[in-house]
Amino acid sequence: MSEKKYQIVKSQAGTSREYLAIQLRARDDAVHIQGRGPSLNRPYGFAVDVDAPDEVISALLEGSPSLESMAGTGALYYRAQIAPPKTTDEDAWHIQVVSVGGLGHAPYRRHYGMAFDVVPNEKVERVLLKAVLNGLQ
């Protein structure tokens, strides 16, 4: 069952930047993202894959995710959030992953877990923008 709106949350870093609540997990060659809200490309909301640095994927694979897949597959996910680029001149979306005790190594490790940037392809970016705009309504 989907939610009426996507959830917008505050930055884990304590800044004023707003993020779209998501959950994610690493696959061998990408990060798989799920969002809960009105159906965009899945009954529960949306799912997309984005490329990420190898160090990020390795750290996510070695960590201990605890959220169940929204698709009911049994796969485990991390609680996370994603923000669109700060300006129209930028392409990178910023992801913050929540994991007690931090996750990975510098420059990605943070006190709340991990942070990294991704540059989604045009199709994925359209899905993410629709979710963000829905959450801001």
Q: Which pLDDT score is estimated for 49? A: 97
Summarize the confidence of residues 64-91 as an average pLDDT. 95
DSSP-derived letter for residue 70 is T
The beta strands (E) that lie in the chain are given as: 8-10, 18-26, 31-36, 45-50, 67-68, 76-83, 93-98, 109-110, 113-118
Tally the domains of the chain. 1
Does 1 have pLDDT greater than 70?
no
What is the chain's mean pLDDT, rounded? 94
Q: What is the pLDDT of residues 3-59, one digit of tens each?
A: 689 999 999 999 999 999 999 999 989 999 999 999 999 999 999 999 999 999 999
Domain enclosing residue 17, as ranges? 8-136
- Looking at the domain assignment, is residue 1 inside a domain? no
Q: Which pLDDT score is estimated for 137? A: 80
- Looking at the domain assignment, is residue 126 inside a domain? yes
Summarize the confidence of residues 99-117 as an average pLDDT. 89
